[in-house]
Chain A
């Protein structure tokens, strides 16, 4: 009964490839997020969806495209992967879209681009 799950946990790929990371939450939450943690461990928001609608879209390359087929899922598709995309990507969810809400994180996906 994992609350927020991500697949895969590890992803090794070549530059120029396209890859996807899937996220699912079984908490019944309305809001989901993608964060990127770089090699220095710094965490930064990338996207946020509330009830399948995009509410945050930080300055990330348009090679990154989130997709929310339903409110329990938020997938991240990355086109034309670059070396600098190597990082850990975390999915998170919260009950509602609000700054008072606690965000629950998935286990992370470590992406390595060679």
Chain B
């Protein structure tokens, strides 16, 4: 069975500061993809960043970057220079051939950004 665990139900960060959201996963597959999705109050699911397991280099998208530790099965998301618009639920997800191409999601982390 594949599992994705987000151990922080809620996190808080001040504007302009940096915050890291944790995600660990378990899979027996050697090739897979990991994703972070953002869900603001509007409910829309928005892709933030994605990482292929075979790529050692950590993915980066502007202020968003990941720390991918394959041996530890860890995939954390770092948000730099946090903005009020970053406030949302963040979901970590895993996809591989075992999942039939579906995304296996974690339970999410609610991020609050304070002025």
Contact = CB atoms under 8 A, between A and B. Distances in A.
How big is chain B's contact interface, by range? 20 to 34
Contact of A56 (B32, B39, B102): B102
B47 interface: yes
How big is chain A's contact interface, by range? 20 to 34
A71 B100 CA distance: 18
A89 B18 CA distance: 32
Contacts of B89: 41
Given A42-B107, A108-B43, A97 B101 contact: yes
| Residue picked from A44, A104, A105, most chain B C-beta under 10 Å | A105
Interface in A69-114: 88, 90, 92, 94, 97-105, 107-108, 110
Interface in B57-104: 89, 91, 95-97, 99-104
Contact of B91 (A40, A43, A107): A43
B45 A44 contact: no
A48 interface: yes
Contacts, number: 64
B4 to A, nearest CB: 10
Nearest to A94: B101
Given A99-B95, A105-B44, A42 B105 contact: yes
B43 to A, nearest CB: 5
B15 interface: no
Nearest to B29: A99
Interface of A: 31, 33, 35, 40-45, 48, 55-56, 58, 88, 90, 92, 94, 97-105, 107-108, 110
Interface of B: 31-33, 35, 37, 39, 42-47, 50, 52, 89, 91, 95-97, 99-105, 107-108
- Leading 7 A-B pairs by shortest Cβ distance: A105-B45, A45-B102, A99-B95, A43-B105, A56-B100, A99-B96, A108-B43
